[in-house]
């Protein structure tokens, strides 16, 4: 048995998220049958984390154990031939048995993209951005985001989700920038609570729109209550960019 690590990208629009669910089209639900077809055995996959319905990935990491004589480049081609076009296996490699895409992840980096077009949403970016009409002040958003850097209890940005041992996480980077009509939020952390990036994006939007002062975001965080923060931004603006692991010498 070898342990394989995949790097995958997908357009989340037509997937009900990563996790296999009966009767629904999911990324795991497309990937695992393709692997079983190739290897002749069930190949349960672990992902770095679940992505929700509509959320995209450029660098989702997945691992699975399989017995196969195929070399990684052949396996890559076979997988892409058997999976739908809105899912692309970008790379594949063999990793040590101990590697686990979920448990071994050190940090994750997400991007949230806002279409800030004044007249209306860009028709060519509808599936991949959140349109916000009000002109956003990206410098204010970037400044506000500093209050979230470091190790904190982030339950103000967590959609209720039972069985969480702790809502303490460490945000390593949070930056907001603008290119033309597009406002981009990038955030990296050692882990994220349920809907956390989308709650941060919705809260930063309130600051950018001038509906809350820059200092409000730190207060919202300190209140330890979901009602204290802003709305949960919609899924189609969110991208899982990159996941890092302790020993990336073995990475694809």
| 150-153 and 168-179 strand pairing | antiparallel
Q: CA geometry: angle at 11 spanning 7 and 17, to 5°?
A: 85
Are 10 and 60 contacting, i.e. CB atoms less than 8 angstroms apart? Answer: yes
Residue with tokens 């800030």: 116
Is residue 123 packed enough to be buried (19+ CB in 10 Å), middle (13-18) or exposed (0-12)? exposed
Among 1, 97, 119, 165, binds a copy of itself (CB under 8 A): 119
Per the annotation, the verdict on 52 as an active-site residue is yes
- Closest CB to a copy of itself among 69 and 85? 85
Taking contact as CB under 8 A, which single stretch among the options 8-16, 43-51, 98-106, 206-214 is the one that binds a copy of itself? 8-16
Are 199 and 157 contacting, i.e. CB atoms less than 8 angstroms apart? Answer: yes
121 makes contact with a copy of itself (CB under 8 A): yes
Cα distance between residue 45 and residue 34, in whole Å: 12
134 makes contact with a copy of itself (CB under 8 A): no
82 makes contact with a copy of itself (CB under 8 A): no
Among 24, 126, 134, 223, binds a copy of itself (CB under 8 A): 126
Give me the catalytic one of 11, 14, 22, 52: 52
124 makes contact with a copy of itself (CB under 8 A): yes
- Closest CB to a copy of itself among 1 and 124? 124
- Closest CB to a copy of itself among 15 and 64? 15
Closest-CA residue to 109 (of 10, 241, 244): 241
Residues at the contact surface with a copy of itself, assessed by CB under 8 A: 9-11, 56, 58, 76, 80, 85-91, 117, 119-124, 126, 128
Active site residues: 52
């Amino acid at each position: 048995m070898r342990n394989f690590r995949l790097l995958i990208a997908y357009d989340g629009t037509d997937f009900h998220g990563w996790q296999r669910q009966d009767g629904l089209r999911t990324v795991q639900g497309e990937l695992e049958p393709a692997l079983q077809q190739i290897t002749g055995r069930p190949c349960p996959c672990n992902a770095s984390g679940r992505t929700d319905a509509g959320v995209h990935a450029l660098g989702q990491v997945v691992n699975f154990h399989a017995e196969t004589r195929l070399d990684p480049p052949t396996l890559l081609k076979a997988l892409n031939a058997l999976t739908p076009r809105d899912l692309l296996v970008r790379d594949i490699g063999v990793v040590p048995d101990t590697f686990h895409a979920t448990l071994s992840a050190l940090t994750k980096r997400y991007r949230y993209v806002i279409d800030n077009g004044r007249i209306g949403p860009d028709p060519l970016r509808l599936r991949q951005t959140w349109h916000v009409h009000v002109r956003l002040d990206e410098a204010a958003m970037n400044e506000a985001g500093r209050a979230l850097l470091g190790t904190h209890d982030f339950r103000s940005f967590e959609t209720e989700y039972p069985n969480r041992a702790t809502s303490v996480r460490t945000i390593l980077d949070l930056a907001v920038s603008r290119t033309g009509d597009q406002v981009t939020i990038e955030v990296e952390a050692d882990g994220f609570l349920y809907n956390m990036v989308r709650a941060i994006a919705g809260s930063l939007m309130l600051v950018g729109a001038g509906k809350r002062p820059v200092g409000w975001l730190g207060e919202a965080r300190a209140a330890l209550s979901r009602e204290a923060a802003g709305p949960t931004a919609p899924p189609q603006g969110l991208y899982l960019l990159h996941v890092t692991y302790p020993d990336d010498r073995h990475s694809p």
